[in-house]
Amino acid sequence: MASPTIKLNSGHNMPLVGFGLWKVNNDTCADQVYEAIKAGYRLFDGACDYGNEVECGQGVKRALEEGLVKREELFIVSKLWNSFHEGDRVEPICRKQLSDWGVDYFDLYIVHFPIALKYVDPAVRYPPGWMSESDKLEFSSATIQETWAAMESLVDKNLTRSIGVSNFSSQLLMDLLRYARVRPATLQIEHHPYLTQPRLVEYAQKEGIAVTAYSSFGPLSFLELEAKRAQTTPPLFEHTTVRSIAERYGKTPAQVLLRWATQRNIAVIPKCNNPARLAQNLAVTGWDLDQSELEAIGSLDIGLRFNDPPSYGIYAPIF
């Protein structure tokens, strides 16, 4: 089953449903990417910070060599980490990431956070994480404008077809759009019924910027990180509103949560290593919730953000 696509402002088509690579273990990553391609996934959402891009590339290579898919049928996403925001650091790290994936271009390359940190040489530590080579949280003086100009040059050099941002507020988007020669094609944000961010979503979409939701299942995505907020928040899969809608349609709670997003033209990137759930997560576009159900799920919003750096001891209060 193929996912429907969103037409980006760059002219390229992005699948509405993809496979997220955050927290995919290195020892299983290649197989998971390969199996996801077999199951019909075409968008793969990776990042420098995930530390598994070499293994992702191995999975892609195997699928390409076996003729399961052609490179032009895949939509490969990666992200610029905070330590490489200076203008002269962007292209070299992008080229390293392309080499790790074993591909000539990314379909989408995203500024991961609106935070510029002091450069960490990949030969010293890779991925660099949040700390400098002195093991401190040290900020760089690189502006978003400087970083974005370097991102635009990646498009000029055909190293990526589209560029985007992640974890940006509407205010930062407004500023970026004032000087962007190449407009951001996508905005990736934490988005689930406990954190709906309706004004940000509306603004981005009105500006022709496609929105991608990460952590669509809310607290479930953060249990492995032992985040206190995630451990004490009722799971969305067990919420009576979500469960009752799922039962009504004969779907899983996960499918309902994903359809709640995709029906509003928000792309999703769930991850899963269970073959049955892989197929279920992809089958979230051929049926509709009614308006009252969309609103009922949206009404669960309590402004609860899980991916917040200070929550993990990182004093970068961007939200």
5: β partners? 15
Q: One of 41, 50, 109, 119 is an active-site residue; which one?
A: 50
- β-pairing, 13-15 vs 5-7, is antiparallel
Q: Which of 112, 134, 116 is nearest to 124 (CA)?
A: 134
Binding-site members for substrate are 112
Residues 6+ positions from 139 with CB-CB distance below 8 Å: 115, 116, 117, 118
Bond preceding residue 127 cis, omega within 30 of 0: yes
Tell me, what DSSP letter sits at residue 54? H
Beta strands in the chain (DSSP E): 5-7, 13-15, 19-20, 43-45, 75-80, 108-111, 163-166, 186-190, 210-214, 267-268
3-state SS class at 162:
coil
φ/ψ of residue 165, rounded to 5: -135, 165
- Max Cα-Cα span within the chain: 55
Q: What angle do CA 138, 188, 197 make, to 5 degrees?
A: 100
Is 315 catalytic? The answer is no
**318: number of Cβ within 10 Å:** 13
| Rounded Cα–Cα distance for residues 235 and 288 (Å) | 23
Q: What angle do CA 204, 206, 208 make, to 5 degrees?
A: 75
Binding-site members are 112
Q: How many helices (H) and strands (E) does the chain have?
A: 11, 10
What positions carry a catalytic annotation? 50
